[in-house]
Amino acid sequence: MQALATLGRYTLATLNEIGKVFIFSVQGLKNCFVPPFYFREIISQLVIVGFYSLPIVGLTAVFTGMVLALQTSVGFSRFNAAGAVASVVVISITRELGPVMAGLMVAGRGSSSIAAEIGSMRVSEQIDALRTLRVDPFKYLVVPRILAGVTMVPLLVLVADVIGVMGGFLVSTTLLDFSVGSYISQTVQNLAAIDVISGLVKAAVFGFSLTTFGCYHGFCCDLGARGVGNATTRAVVSSCIGILVLNYLLTALFFGI
């Protein structure tokens, strides 16, 4: 009975939290279209979320492409299908691995820093100071970060797609005896527009989700250093889970499974 009560409490608390995040994200989305806009903050967040995430996203993409080429080559050669490596690499990278890996990297880097920054601002009364200066903290802090996430994560994914495919190309042509011409032609032939577009749409949704989670946990953080630490951890965990769940839903939506 006790276990059942605990399970019930946990379920209600989780549903309550999901509801709060949902309301927060709707408010965030709505405010993206309502002035005033703080352009300086928006530009600053575009740089922080986009430009500063570029090295880690690039590095992840190149190694993912390289490993993917190696693994598919080993696996497919058992079925005499090693020639399909180029197609598998480009489709996997553009549809799934590019958006998901880039999303997870930006979640680890960006969502945590958003939660920590906003959480510290809350603890040190800077958010209250914004309110007393008649600046809506939602418009000043949340909107620029959401806009940065929605615009920069797709751009990062585009870069990750190119770098990831290049990684596969390098391994295939230098270690796996693929000819440059046939690898490129197979890549181009098997790449459909929907592969890239679905990846970019996913990236925009992931960008929205990870920045919203970062902002939400920052805004709701408990007071004190421990509160900020916990908010940061929760932001990363929920952003990553959010990306994985959304990835499944969007894949099902795009490819009619």
Partner 1 sequence: MTKIHFERLCKSFEGGLQVLNGVQLGIEKGESHIILGQSGCGKSVLLKCLLGIQKITSGDIIVDGISVQDERRFGEYLRKFSILFQGNALFDSMTILENVIFGANQVRRDKFECRKLAEEKLFAVGLEKRVFDLYPAEISGGMQKRAALARAIAVEPEILLFDEPTSGLDPITGGVICNLLKNTIKSLGVTALTITHDLKVAEFLADRVSVLNQGTVVWTGRTKDMETCGNGYVIRFHQASSLSGTVA
Q: Which residues bind partner 1 (CB under 8 A)?
A: 120-121, 124-126, 128-129, 131-135
Nearest-approach distance from CB 104 to partner 1, in angstroms: 26
**154: closest CA among 226, 119, 202, 108?**
202
Q: Smallest distance, Å, CB 130 to partner 1?
A: 8
Nearer to partner 1, 125 or 222 (CB): 125
Instruction: Compute the least distance from the CB of residue 134 to partner 1, in Å.
Output: 6
Cα separation, 127 vs 117, whole angstroms:
11
Identity of the residue, 41 or 96, whose beta carbon is nearer to partner 1 in the bound complex? 41
Which one, 87 or 126, has the nearer CB to partner 1?
126
Among residues 78 and 134, whose Cβ is nearest to partner 1? 134
Q: How many CA atoms lie within 13 A of 54 on its CB side?
A: 11
CB 68, CB 85: distance < 8 Å: no
State the nearest-atom distance from the C-beta of 29 to partner 1, in Å. 22
CA distances from 197 to 77, 149, 209 (A): 30, 17, 18
**Cα separation, 144 vs 43, whole angstroms:** 8
Q: How far is the CB of 135 from partner 1 (least distance, A)?
A: 8
Give least dist CB 66 to partner 1, A: 38
50 with 155: CB under 8 angstroms? yes
Q: Is the Cβ of residue 75 or residue 224 nearer to partner 1 in the bound state?
A: 224
Least distance to partner 1 from the beta carbon of 137, Å?
A: 11
Residues 6+ apart with CB under 8 A from 177: none
Residue carrying the six token digits 């098997």? 190
Q: Which is nearer to partner 1, 66 or 127 (CB)?
A: 127
- Residue 228 Cα distances to 70, 88, 94, 180, 236, angstroms: 42, 42, 35, 51, 13
Which residue in the block uniquely carries the two structure tokens 């997870």? Answer: 104
Residues 19 and 236: their CA atoms lie apart, in Å, by 19
- Given the complex with partner 1, which of 118 and 155 has the nearer CB atom? 118
> How long is the chain?
257
DSSP state of 221: P
